[in-house]
Every structure is written in structure tokens, then in C-alpha cells.
Structure 1
């Protein structure tokens, strides 16, 4: 699987009083990166929901290495590090130019929209492995 890249512009609403990005805003950027990663694989949340499946973040480990500031143009990268029947492990990075600002290790699980765990369909696992 190749690394997916998604651009994010920093707006006033993303920052705190100092003009730096507020730490919780990075979660939104990572979420957008994951959503666009799925979309580029042809996986759309509404189609999964129609099949009774959704994704939920099980765990996230974030390392803040540098600050993003208002008007910065950042890149959110997403890459699959592991898959199983119900889990998808990802590494996400936020960069300004070539400088790494934030790294996240994310575990996403499949759940039934009616509640409880769900298995990822084989076709999705194949797409995550780059076999599409």
C-alpha cells in the first residue's frame, strides 16, 4: 500500500490564543486524512453503513513534535501498517513541507451499526493490502 497524502490548511478556528494549532484540532485533521484515504480506495462511509458496518477508533497514540500555525499548509499522510479480520492499524503523519509535526498510531475497528464487533469484508481487507 502506498502512502496517501491529503492537504490541510490551518484556519483561525483551528488555533488557540497564541496562533498555534490547538491540540484537539489535530484529531480532526487525522480523521479527514483517514476519510479521504478510504474515499480514494473507493470505500465510502455511507455505503458501509448501508451494509450495517461502521468504523470506530479503538486507540490512538499521538506524538506532538512541533507546532502548526495559522495559514500553514500541511499534509496528512496515512498508511496501513497492519490488518486483521476486524482491525485496521494505521500510521498517520502531519507535515509542514518536509518537517514532521505530529505522528499518530491509530487502530480502527469494524463495528455493526446495530452494536458489537464486525468482521471487515474480504474485499475491504484486499483493498487495504493494495490488492484492488
Structure 2
């Protein structure tokens, strides 16, 4: 699923998005908030493609909540369209990780672009902790594959 693309020097994971009728709004297009679910699908796939699992982070006593989200809608998706989410790491500074996303249709047209910023917090008290301290190997892997 995930693959290096072109001559770029970063790893991009690709996941197919299944669009359901229930995902549409009154205008017949995919409801805007569903793109956050698509980003989560992409982020989870990205993590899995690198050999990790988010659930392992939770079982180790940590969460990685969304701190910030940004989405720009460029072209509507409709029920019946083919769609994919491409995901990569934009920034990984040891404290926060910024994932980049591109939602494309079956014609490879960009329908939405966005970013989510995540921090690592301890499950028991939600106090922030450094990603590179809590998960040094995972952090180093992100450093290897992030967008340069």
C-alpha cells in the first residue's frame, strides 16, 4: 500500500476510501467533516506501513491527540466516486508531529488537502511528553521518512 513516490525523498502511504451514501450531505457531496475520518484512515495506514500500531502506543500508557487540524476543500467527492487518501509526515520535531494529507479521486484530482498536528500525552494525566523520549525508535523512523 505505502510506497515511495516519484523522485521525492519522503514516504507516502496510500489508502482507498470507501464512500457511502450515508457520508453525503443535502447537496449530494461527501459531508465536510468526513474528511477528518479520511485523515485518520490515512494516518493509521501510514503508521501501519512503517511497522507500528497506534494501539501499541495506548497500551504503553500514551495517547497522540489531535492538537490542530487544517483542511482545504478543492473539489467535491460524491457517492460512487473512487477516492484515496495519501499521507506523509510534514514535520517531526520530537515534541509534535504534523501529518500531511491529500484526498484524491479516481482521476487523481486533488479533492482536499490538509494537515493534523499531534502531540504525545500520558494517558493517566494528559501531560505532554516528548515523542522522541517516549518512542525513540518510532521517532527515528519518522525522521527517516519525513518530507525534507
Aligned partners of 1:130, 1:73: CA distance in 2, in Å?
A: 31
Which residue of structure 1 aligns with residue 4 of structure 2? none
Which residue of structure 2 aligns with residue 27 of structure 1? 36
Alpha carbon RMSD of aligned pairs, Å?
1.3
Residue 134 of structure 2 is aligned to residue 125 of structure 1: no
What do the CA deviations read for 1:15-51 (whole angstroms, capped 9, x no partner)? Answer: 0123200011111111111111111112212211121
Deviation at 1:129, TM superposition (A): 2.1
Unaligned runs of 5+ in 2: 1-9
Residue 86 of structure 2 is aligned to residue 77 of structure 1: yes
Which residue of structure 2 aligns with residue 63 of structure 1? 72
Structure 1 outlier segments of 4+, above 3 Å: none
Tell me the SS of whatever aligns to 1:43: coil
Tell me the SS of whatever aligns to 2:140: helix
Q: TM-score, normalised by structure 1?
A: 0.93
Which residue of structure 2 aligns with residue 52 of structure 1? 61
Instruction: Give the number of equivalent residue pairs.
Output: 131
Unaligned runs of 5+ in 1: none
Deviation at 1:52, TM superposition (A): 0.9
Higher mean C-alpha displacement, 43-52 vs 65-74? 43-52
Which residue of structure 2 aligns with residue 104 of structure 1? 114
Tell me the SS of whatever aligns to 1:105: strand
